[in-house]
Amino acid sequence: MGAGQSVRVEDKLYTLRWKHDRTTHIRITDPRVCADRCGDEWRRPCTTFCPAKVYEWDPEQARILVAYENCVECTTCLTGCPYRVIDWRPPRGGFGVQYRYG
């Protein structure tokens, strides 16, 4: 890669491998906050701060959908939710993302 070229997050994510657990390691403890308060006051920052796009607002169900399988364990959501309603735990042993150099 030449000088001045930037690395796209999508390209780096492609180098990762996951072993998916059937049990989520991410839970929204109070979904009402996402629906009632966070949209107007904060524009739901989880939908933008997560590099793996784990969080998506579903207007029909009026809740955040959590694609926990895509989590790269960056831990940003431990501090990124303004209402601290994201309960993020490290995936169970043996599960989660596996980092490779590439």
Beta bridge partners of 27: 87
Residues 6-35 within binding reach of ligand SF4 (CB under 6 A): 26, 28, 33-34
Could you say which DSSP state residue 7 is in?
P
Site string for ligand SF4, 33-72 (x = CB under 6 A): xx---x---x-xxx---xxx-xx--------x------xx
Nearest distance in Å: CB 56, ligand SF4: 10
The nearer residue to ligand SF4, 83 or 95, going by C-beta atoms, is 83
Residues near 13 by beta carbon (within 8 Å), at least 6 away in sequence: 51, 52, 72
**Contact call for residues 74 and 99 (beta carbons, < 8 A):** no
The single residue listed with the structure tokens 């979904």 is 31
Q: Which of 24, 56, 83, 87 binds ligand SF4 (CB under 6 A)?
A: 83
